Amino acid sequence: MPQLLSKKGRFGTAPVFFTAISTILGAIMFLRFGYAVGSVGVVGTLLIVLVGHMVTIPTSMALAEIATNQKVEGGGEYYIISRSFGLTIGASIGIALFLSQAISVAFYIIAFSEAFDPVIHWLQNETGFLLPKRVIGLFSVLMLAWLMVTKGANTGMWLLYVVVSVLGVSLIMFFAGEGSYQGEFLTSASENEFFYVFAIIFPAFTGMTAGVGLSGDLKDPKVSIPRGTMWATLIGMVIYVFITFKLAGSVSQQDLLTDQLVMSKVALWGPIIPIGLAAATISSALGSVMVAPRTLNAIAIDRIIPFPKFNRLVGRVNTKTGEPVNASMITCAIAFFFVLLGDVNVVAEIISMFFMVTYGSICSISLLENFASNPGYRPAFKSKWYISLLGAVLCVYLMFKMNSFYAFVAIGVMTGIYYFLSQSRKERKGSDMANIFRGVIFQISRNLHVFLQKRQSDDEEWRPSVVAVSTSSFDRHGAYDLLRWLSHKIGFGTYIHHIDGYLSNEAVENSKECMQRLIKMTQVSDSTVYVDTLINPSFSTTVAQSLQMPGVSGKENNLVLFEYHKSKPEATNQIIENMGMVRAVGYDTCILASSEKEFGFNHEIHIWITSKDYVNANLMIYMAYIILGHPDWKNGIIKLYAIYPQDEIKAQKVKLLEMIKSGRLPISANNIEIIPMEQDSNPKEVINRKSRDADLTIVGFRQEILKHDQQEMFSGYDGIGNLLFVNAQREKEIV
C-alpha cells in the first residue's frame, strides 16, 4: 500500500524560498543572460524580465491563494491541479510536469558541467588529458542519486543552504566588480528576435514554483508556500533587473554575445562566477531531484495510472527517511539518459512549454474559483481575478509565440496522456473539473437568468420553452423523446415526473431514486432536457406548480406537454381537467397520444390543417421543423395536408406555399396536398387513411371544441401511430 511521504512535515518557509530562488538564479543567469542583454539591449531585456514576470507573479499569487484555502499535500503543483480539475486532467499535466522536472535535472547537470571549463582547460594544458564534460555530468547524476537514496531530503536541504550561500557570494562579488567597458546600449530588437531570446531566457523564471513540490514535507504549507514563493519571485525579478544594468554598463556587446561566462569579466574575483555557476546549477538540480520524485509519488498514491504494480512500486517510501526512493531512482535514470545524450536544447524548449501549461492551469484555477464565488473557497491570501486571467492568457499566448511547433507537441502529449487515462477510468468519466466548473456554470446561469429577465420583451422571436408533466416516465418514453427533440437546438425543455403521494421520508427517497433514473436517461440519450420530480397528492397540484416554474432558459415557459396512451383514453380526463389552468397562464398546449407503433422509423411527419384551426397552423409547422432538426430525424420529411372547402382550395394552396417559402421551411411543394372537404364527411377517417404509415401525425384542436367534446375529441384515431394534438393560444409568426 503506498504511503504518504511523511506523517508530519519537517520544513518551514526557508526551504521553499531557497529551492525557488536557487532555481530562478541558476544556469540561465550565468550562461545566457549576458547573451540576452547583448542581443536585445537593456530595453529588450527589461521587457523580457517584465513579460516573464507577468506570468510568474500571477502564478505565484494564484499558488499563494490556493495554498491558503486548501491543504496542499505531497505533489505540490500536481496536487493543486488534480484537486481542482480532477485526477485525470491533473495526472495528464502532472506526468508532463514530472518529465519536465526530471529532464530539468539533466539540463542543470549539463550546465553544471560547463562550470568546469577553466579546470578542463588547465588540466589539458598541464597533462594533455581532456576530461569530457559528459563524464562530469554522469558522475554528478550518480552522486545525486546516491545522496537522495541514502541521505534523503534532510541532507539535500543542508547542501542546498551551502550552495545558496556560495550563490549569494558570487552575486555580491559580481555587483562589487567593475568591467572594462563604460556605457550602456538601450537598443531593442525585432519581434521575432525578441521572442527567440525570450524562449531562451524564460526557463530562468520557471523556478518560482520549485519549492511547492516540497509541500508534503512542510510543517505548514499554507504559510510556507505563499511566503517562500512570493519572496523568491519578487527578489529574483529585482536581481535580474540589476544584472541587466550591470552587464550593459560593464561589458561590450561583442563580449556579451560571444562569452558564456562573461560575468567573470565583471566580478571582483573572476573565478567566483564558475564557482557560482556550479553552485547555482547543482542547487537547481538538487531542487529538481527532490521535487520530481514527489510529483511522481503523489500520482502513484492517487492510483490514476492503470498499472497497479507500478503504483505500488512508485508509491512506496522509505519508512525511516520518508523518501520516495523508487520515484527518486526513476527520476535519476531519466536524468542520466538525457545527460548521456548530451544535448537537451530541443527538450529544454518543450520543458518550458510544459511549465507554461502548468502555470496556465494554476492561474485558471484561481480565476475560476474567484468567478464561481464558492462559499467554501476562503483563502487567507486573495489574488485578483483579472491578475489570474492575465497570467492564464499570457501562458497560452507566449507558448505559441516562443515556438508554435513545440506548443502543439506539449499540448498533444498531454492530450494523449489524458485520452489514455480517461479510457482506463470510464466509470468516472465526466467527473473531471465537475466541482470547479459547477460553481462557474452556476454563476453564469444566475447572471444570464437575471439578464434575460431584465431585458424580456413581448416582441421577441418566439421559440418553444416546454414543460412536460408525466406520470409514466419509465413506462413510455414518448413525451421525453418529443421534449428532447424540441429542446435539441432551438427550444428548451423541462421534464417533470409526477409522484403521487404526500411528502414523507419514504416519498423523498423514492423521489431521489426516480431522479437518478431520469438523470441516467438524459446521459444515455445525450439530451439537453432538464429533469426534476414533484411529490403531490394530485396530478393537478403538480401541473399547477409546473406551470409556475421558471424555464431553464431564464425566461418563462410558454408551452406545456401532456401524454397518454391510446389504450387508456380515460387518462385524458385528468388532462382535460387542467386545461383551464393552462389557458389561464397563456401557455400553448401539446398532448401526445402514444401508440404501440411509437415513433416508428423517425421518417415522416404529417401535419393536418383545417379551416377551423388555422390559428394552430404555424405552431404545428414550426414544431415539425424543429423536430426534423434532431439527428434522430436526419432523413425525415414533412408532409402537409389541408382540408378546405372546394371553393377555397386554390387560394389556400397559394397561401400555404407562400408561408412555406417566406418561412424557409423544409417542406417540398410536392409534399403539400389540399383535400376538398365534402359535406357530411369525417376528417378523422381521411387522417386515418392518409397517415396510417406516418411516424408522427400532428393535428390541431381548439379549446372550445375540447370543452364541448371532452374525451370524444381524442378518439377515432386508431389507424395511425403517435399523434400530437396542438393548440396555440395565439397565432405564431414564421419569419
Q: Give which of 49, 82, 57 is closest to 245, Cα–Cα.
A: 49
451 Rama class: left (phi>0) / alpha (psi -120 to 50) / beta: alpha
Total tally of structural domains belonging to the chain: 3
Amino acid at the residue 689: R
pLDDT in the model for residue 511? 94
Q: Are residues 563 and 614 in the same domain?
A: no
Q: Is residue 667 included in any domain, yes or no?
A: yes
561 and 599 co-located in one domain: no
Q: Measure the CA–CA gap between 687 and 643, rounded to whole angstroms.
A: 10
| CA distance readout (Å), 181 to 117, 186, 255 | 24, 15, 10
**What whole-number distance in Å separates Cα of residue 255 and Cα of residue 242?**
19
Provide mean pLDDT across the span 35-50: 88
Q: 230: Cβ–Cβ under 8 A, 6 or more apart, which residues?
A: 60, 61, 64
Asked whether 669 and 654 are in contact (CB, 8 A), the reply is no
Residue 690's CATH number: 3.40.50.620
User: Residue 34 domain-assigned?
Assistant: yes
Amino acid found at 464? P
For residues 313 and 303, give the distance between their C-alpha atoms in angstroms, rounded to a whole number. 11
**Which letter, b or e, does each residue of 353-386 get, where b requires 16 or more Cβ atoms within 10 Å of its Cβ?**
bbbbbbbbbbbbbbbbbbbbebeebebebebeee
In a domain, 139, yes or no: yes
Which of 231-245, 350-364, 501-515, 552-566 is predicted least confidently?
A: 350-364
Q: Mean pLDDT over residues 641-656, rounded?
A: 80
pLDDT computed for residue 734 by the predictor: 60
Residues 6+ apart with CB under 8 A from 366: 58, 61, 62, 65, 66, 383, 385, 388
Q: Model's pTM, two decimal places?
A: 0.61
- Nearest 5°: the CA angle 395, 396, 400 is 115
Pick from 159-163, 336-340, 469-473, 651-655 the range whose average pLDDT is largest: 469-473
Domain termination residue (choose one: 567, 587, 605): 567
Is residue 26 within 8 A of residue 111, CB to CB? The reply is yes
> 532 or 382, which is more confident?
532
Instruction: Tell me: do 521 and 391 sit in the same domain.
Output: no
Say if CB 543 and CB 475 are below 8 A apart.
Answer: no
**DSSP class per residue in 296-364:** HHHHHHTT-SS-HHHHHHHH---TTT---HHHHHHHHHHHHHHHHH---HHHHHHHHHHHHHHHHHHHH
Residue 523 lies in a domain: yes
Residues 427-464 pLDDT 10s: 454 455 555 566 676 676 667 666 666 666 555 667 88
180 and 289 both lie in a single domain: yes
Confidence of residue 508 (pLDDT cuts 50, 70, 90): very high
| Residue 13, all three cell numbers | 518557509
pLDDT in tens, 661-689: 766 566 777 788 888 877 667 788 889 99
Which CATH number does the domain housing residue 547 bear?
A: 3.40.50
Indicate whether 256 and 385 sit together in one domain. yes
**Contact yes or no for 116/136 (Cβ under 8 A):** yes
Longest dimension (CA), the chain: 123
Lowest mean pLDDT: which of 7-11, 218-222, 596-600? 7-11
Which structural domain, as residue segments, surrounds residue 468? 464-567
pLDDT in tens, 260-305: 788 888 888 888 888 888 887 777 777 777 778 888 888 888 888 8
60 near 233, Cβ under 8 Å?
yes
558 with 662, same domain: the answer is: no
In a domain, 360, yes or no: yes
**Is position 470 within any domain?**
yes
Residue 88 within a domain: yes
Q: Are residues 545 and 600 in the same domain?
A: no
**Alpha carbon 337 to chain centroid distance?**
34
Let me know whether 379 and 295 are in one domain.
yes
Cell numbers linked to 375: 462559499
Cβ–Cβ under 8 Å, residues 327 and 300? yes
Confidence of residue 30 (pLDDT cuts 50, 70, 90): confident
- Same domain for 30 and 152, yes or no, is yes
556 and 616 within one domain: no
Identify whether residues 405 and 530 lie together within a single domain.
Answer: no
Beta-carbon count within 10 A of 722 CB = 23
Domain boundary among 371, 398, 423: 423
Task: Write the CATH number for 308.
Answer: 1.20.1740.10
Same domain? For 389 and 477 the reply is: no
**Position 375 pLDDT exceeds 90:** no
Q: Averaged over 719-735, what is the pLDDT?
A: 85
User: What DSSP string runs through 556-584?
Assistant: B--EEEEEEETT-GGGHHHHHHTHHHHHH
**62-74 CB burial, b ≥16 within 10 A, e <16:** bbbbbbbbbebbb
The helix (run of H) or strand (run of E) holding residue 195 is: helix 191-201
Q: β-strands 604-610, 465-470: how paired?
A: unpaired
Q: Which of 423, 454, 480 is the last residue of a domain?
A: 423
pLDDT of residue 698: 95
Question: Is residue 415 domain-resident?
Answer: yes
